[in-house]
A and B are shown apart, each in its own frame.
Chain A
Amino acid sequence: RKEVEQDPGPFNVPEGATVAFNCTYSNSASQSFFWYRQDCRKEPKLLMSVYSSGNEDGRFTAQLNRASQYISLLIRDSKLSDSATYLCVVISSNSGYALNFGKGTSLLVTP
């Protein structure tokens, strides 16, 4: 079983829709959490860090529930340019640096 699990999708949504992605992680000692974005045939890029208190960056909101070992990403008012794969990423305490990626959730925003 992978340490980080995500629904691979694809999620097909119309422009302007709100879409939510979920992710679970198995290592309770995990210490850092992120969402990365990866465009087709491109490298992953950090979208945002995720904190227990929840954090927001424009149309994007990330939440962490340590008790349930669950991470979420909410995208409001979807744009065509949001089409990409969203990777849930966890750093475990035993390494402190190696990024553990989920499989990614594919999002396609349509006109």
Chain B
Amino acid sequence: SDELTQATSVSVSPGQTARISCSGTTLASQYAYWYQHKSGQAPVLVIYKDSERPSGIPERFSGTSSGTTVTLTISGVQAEDEADYYCQSGDKNSPQKVFGGGTKLTVL
């Protein structure tokens, strides 16, 4: 299965826009999914199928895809958004799933 690469960390001030990217060759043909993970809590799905937002997820979370890179954008970042964010995708030839290494979002 392919690998997904994410930056280790991103820092933004409250109210700014955070962009977290994920790259990998599988993203050219497979959807991406994004999970928010706060320490000690269950990871939460925030974006599915590149850009769809589950019910209950604030509108400030959005996703885009271009070629082999997908981006999670958090507009108007709030302190509560501080967390680790993981991208995930699949393999077109098997049910195997792959995760990125995670990006720690720090709200300054």
**Chains A and B come from one and the same complex:** no
Residues of A within 8 A of B (CB): none
